Structure 1
Amino acid sequence: MPPHHLAVLAFDGVLPFDLATAVETFARARLDDGTRPYRITVAAPHAEVAAEGYGLRVPQALASVGDAATVIVPGMAEPRSPADPAILATLARARHRGARIASICTGAFVLAAAGLLDGRRATTHWQAAGLLARMYPEVAVDPAVLYVDEGDVLTSAGAAAGLDLCLHMIRRDFGARVAARTARAAVVPLERAGGQAQFIQDDPPAAAGLAPLLDWMRVNLDQRLKVERLAARAGMSPRTFARRFRAETGTTPLQWLLTARIRRAQLLLETTAWSIERVATEAGFDSAVTFRQRFRQVTGVTPSDWRRSFGTSRSG
């Protein structure tokens, strides 16, 4: 099977970080036999692009996008600026022939200008979400999430959320094993769920905050850590504790614990030869069955598959 042709568009005012995120993430993907599943093209309306902060030389013309199965639009420094007509025409042709189209950060403004987000849910960087909603009222803008997958059209928030979106797309295309391997090669965690909050509210708890409690939770993941017990340790009512916890961490206590336990389990799977049952116990799960279910929900693969991919231990 030929590689999946993925085109990343460049244009005057493009954000280099977003462009590089797409190129680097998909370029690191490898199948089980070591082959690259993507053929990546960077294309622009002209050879010299004035990127934010410096210039770029782009050897591929927009015509090279012609057979791309996926087209990615990075963010633009000035989202109020009119999109390049040549870029809009390229997107229209790609959409007409059924290509999947995605944007990173303020690249959503280009998709909206091309009419690709009409009647759809979409996101962008939280600072630009209000502007996107005002400029394109026919778009259902969700400013709170990391990315939105509408099937054939995908959008993401800014910066690191673009990496989350790319890993999500790799998982869609070639499975969780390839996505996990790509994340490992890029030295990043597996992609965060798209519905996770873009940022943590700047409303920290009083005094020392929850940092000491979080450290204690990490050390005691193998214990039964009910919200009531955590709230009592923090000196708060359960309701106040839940509110403060979300304000400081961006998530719920139970979700934080699940993520921390999965991370510990990943480390144990990678560095020990312990049985799955022992890993489950050491990571704080009440049974191996629950552990397997939760692990697969979060990572997309089984604990055994994770160990085969990333394990380094030969003895327990």
Structure 2
Amino acid sequence: MHAFTIPQPGGPEALTWTKVDDPVPGEGEVLVEVAATAVNRADLLQRQGSYNPPPGAAPYPGLECSGRIAALGPGVAGWAVGDEVCALLAGGGYAEKVAVPVGQLLPVPRGLGLVAAAALPEVAATVWSNVFMVAHLRPGETVLLHGGASGIGTMAIQLAKAVGAKVIVTAGSAKKLARCAELGADVLVNYREQDFVTAVREATGGHGVDVILDIMGAKYLQRNVDALAVSGRLVIIGLQGGVKGEIDLSTLLAKRAAVVATSLRPRPLAEKAAIVAAVREHVWPLLESGVVKPVIDRVLPITDAAEAHRALEAGEQVGKVVLQV
């Protein structure tokens, strides 16, 4: 088969479409013939040499895919060769085939095709696990989503609205904010022109937000705490604004608030399987009913992966960039 290897870390040109050995599904795995994959920021970090796959994972980039089952490994039940699926991966999506632990498989939602399904597993698992399983966002609460126009942001807006929460988003352009509004965001904050803490206080009558999903890390740390309500929950899932920050612990104590940092890729198989099962139970019905929809900015041939990486690095996209095999 062919896959994108990274002979030397570097810019988008480091991605090399190369002939490699076919994967063989092991115990509890299936072999998926990849129809499409999607680009995530972790792929950019891996290409740059700063985010290696966990032990045992395929060495190629790609944290999700869609396709058809080509073979079943030992001990697999409940799936058949030819089934159309999408999957959460620890790596290997930028390839023509990938071996997937059976607990990380999902059926393609009814009404959606394989290309659209490729944009779902990573964002659905990330949002559901963090906003709902960790932060326990409830109806009537308010959530602040940084990077509202990203793949994660566009999914989080829709899921938060689906459970009856109020949504505040930050984004860096009027175009992106307009798209967030179309998806249901209630309060729009242009972070280039507005202080989001001030905007949160105005939007909540000084109360603050109950949940924050943050991709920035250090740069936003203290301001995020300032924006929290009493008993608020800050969940950090990205470090685009740096890795070391300081917070005023007296503010955190006074608010009886929580700061949690999580990652998805290196989790044990059992934890990933539990998240995927929760996504299938809670998110898939919303997709199949049309309440929630995948947001896809563009679909490119997989051989144009370097172009896709440049688009993501430039922050051009709203939603996901999909690579079709």
TM range (shorter): under 0.3
Could you say which structure has the larger radius of gyration? 1
The TM-score with structure 2 as length reference comes to 0.26
In proportion to residue count, which structure has more strand?
A: 2
Which one has more relative contact order, counting CA pairs under 8 Å at least 6 apart?
A: 2
The TM-score with structure 1 as length reference comes to 0.27
In proportion to residue count, which structure has more helix?
A: 1
